[in-house]
Structure 1
């Protein structure tokens, strides 16, 4: 019996890796993404660990064209999105230099990706590595951030069908492009933390309002995304570094982009002055 248990233990790591897509399949996915061509889902993945394994293989391939990794995006930060993908917690992707290259008022091809979308988001930048030990104290978290940035994320959902939790992770949670507004210097105060929770985030195009959500739409508070991310990274032996950017999650659904539109995200109640960021598609 001992020999059988030992044999089973030795086989367990192999079985755990069995559903990780082959490198050739991931390379085909990367090629389709960079050619703005929809791709079928990766077959055979059973768990989120399989999706993470695929993502770990995909990110270096995308970085050759999208630039070096500069931080992380957190997706599925509300229960409705989690239910849609069949998971009960957020997921993490890697963002690239291309994700933070565009500024307010930029013009972007409507077909910038295989399945191009737009959503209201919010970005922060890490001041120092103390953020990894700040815990869930929101004021402490603010002390370790040096920028809060209005952010339109432009994810590429790439798959022609079959989107589930493992495949969302496999496509790097759709991280592709984004447009950054004017950075805000965060205040390490309860008042600033309360404004982040109480603000209303509005996504609109030049015709109509498309979505509206409170700051609490992201895990109950935008800053609560950070400790979740810290814990998720720690499971993989990673940590946040000074200068890392973090996309905190979608305040709106990821909506298909239309050519000839101007998309604007407004943050109502965050600051005394109006805060917004816009992008135009062609």
Structure 2
């Protein structure tokens, strides 16, 4: 091959690579994303984002969300369930921010079209007690640094025109679909060692179920479906946040991820999440209108 042919081939290669690689969304595109979020209309899919592009876009989107939503009250770990990872063609979790006003009380009535691509899932929150959580490497160490376990039905909004085409970076870019959620009665973390050990085991072994108003099962899963133990989601999240200069603080809420498939709501549907095998955990309920 001549030098001219080599240069032409290299140019063609760069052109092809550029054609399939997208960058972080521009400020204007991030503003458009926010406008769709506010209007609850589907936004164009972010296409071919790298993990870095997704994180950069999430940062821009969250800057705009913060101006509108106010205080960050916590974080959500997403794609912590391998079955859900498979749906989005990825093998690792992602994270987003939770804002004031996103977490509603159990029994709340919510519009079925609360977002552009509204969904619901069985989830769980924990509340941070100590900044030591940022060094936690095991579920036991996480339990030492939280003071509440909270039943939770998350109401995410995948907000794009074609959610099935989202990959992990695309989910990151839209702040992991954070929109709303319904929280039940907090379950305090016990003081005594034996009771704490029993709680750790129960969290892994529990069966989480979603049922409708007539008691028909809609979906669910086991505690261990989330990274083999749901508190491993906090270990992952704390590490991921620290890579971006963020640390969990006392009072922060952490959403652990989905124990169920992501399901579409419809008007008139009432959904209850129960945590069988988790002593003291009261059901949490949402009604769609």
TM-score by length of 1: 0.89
CA displacement at 1:18 relative to structure 2: 7.2
SS at match of 2:188: coil
Alignment match, 1:142: 143
In the TM superposition, 1:128-207 aligns within 5 A as 128-136=130-138, 138-161=139-162, 162-187=165-190, 189-207=196-214
Alignment match, 1:6: none
SS at match of 1:93: strand
The one of 75, 78, 90 aligned to 1:75 = 78
Alignment match, 2:38: 34
Q: State how far apart, in whole Å, the 2-side matches of 1:281 and 1:206 are.
A: 11
Q: State how far apart, in whole Å, the 2-side matches of 1:196 and 1:40 are.
A: 38
Alignment match, 1:7: none
SS at match of 1:31: helix
- Conserved? CA contact 1:98–1:176, under 8 Å: no
Alignment match, 2:255: 247
- Judged with a 3 Å threshold, the aligned counterparts in structure 2 of structure 1 residues 67 and 108 are, in CA distance, closer, same or farther, namely farther
CA displacement at 1:69 relative to structure 2: 1.3
CA displacement at 1:132 relative to structure 2: 1.2
Alignment match, 1:116: 118
| Residue 225 (structure 2) pairs with residue 223 (structure 1) | no
- Conserved? CA contact 1:30–1:58, under 8 Å: yes
- Conserved? CA contact 2:102–2:179, under 8 Å: yes
Larger Rg: 2
What runs of 5+ residues in structure 2 fail to find an aligned partner?
1-17
CA displacement at 1:274 relative to structure 2: 5.6
- Conserved? CA contact 1:25–1:42, under 8 Å: no
Deviations 1:118-170 (A, max 9, x none): 1100000000101112321x232212101110101000110111322221111
What runs of 5+ residues in structure 1 fail to find an aligned partner?
1-14
- Please, what is the CA RMSD of the aligned residues? 1.7
Q: State how far apart, in whole Å, the 1-side matches of 2:85 and 2:79 are.
A: 5
Alignment match, 1:3: none
